[in-house]
Amino acid sequence: MDEATTHVGDVAQTVLETLPIIGRVFASRMRYVHEGTTAGHYALLHALALQPMSLGELAERMQVTAPTMSATVQTLVSRGWLERERSSDDRRIVIVRPTPAGVCILEEMCQQAQALLQEMLEPLTAEELSRVREGMEILRHLLESETAVAETASLPCASE
């Protein structure tokens, strides 16, 4: 293995080790926004803020089974964060979208997550902050181009 391959492998390993830590910290903080809120709820609200979807599309997007997604959606419907509506094209299809209360919860989650990250980044020097930002922008650009998901600019916390 040459030096460039080793370097790419090291970076890949660092990303793989870091992402679960970010997920755990984020999941922990989300529980404080609203009792019983999970990172999965955030991901679901985030996806639906981009575009209403059917239960099947949601299950596929979140990589869970249809019954699991149905139960999660029911939980968020009962909290008033999501609403279901039959498709006008095909009455067998149920479309799920966030309610105004769901959008508010998503905004609160975004604000809490940003506050947590700001607190964690506070000890870094200006140069370190610049390096972190540059690295994250590169990674985001790479991932967005890979998945063709550039719609996040319309989300409540995308520009914060």
- Which pLDDT band holds residue 158 (cuts at 50, 70, 90)? low
Whether this prediction's pTM lies above 0.85 is answered by no
Encode pLDDT of 127-153 as tens digits. 999 999 999 999 888 888 766 444 444
Q: How many whole angstroms separate alpha carbon 104 and alpha carbon 73?
A: 17
93 phi-psi bin (left φ>0, alpha ψ -120 to 50, beta other): beta
* R_g over Cα of the chain: 18
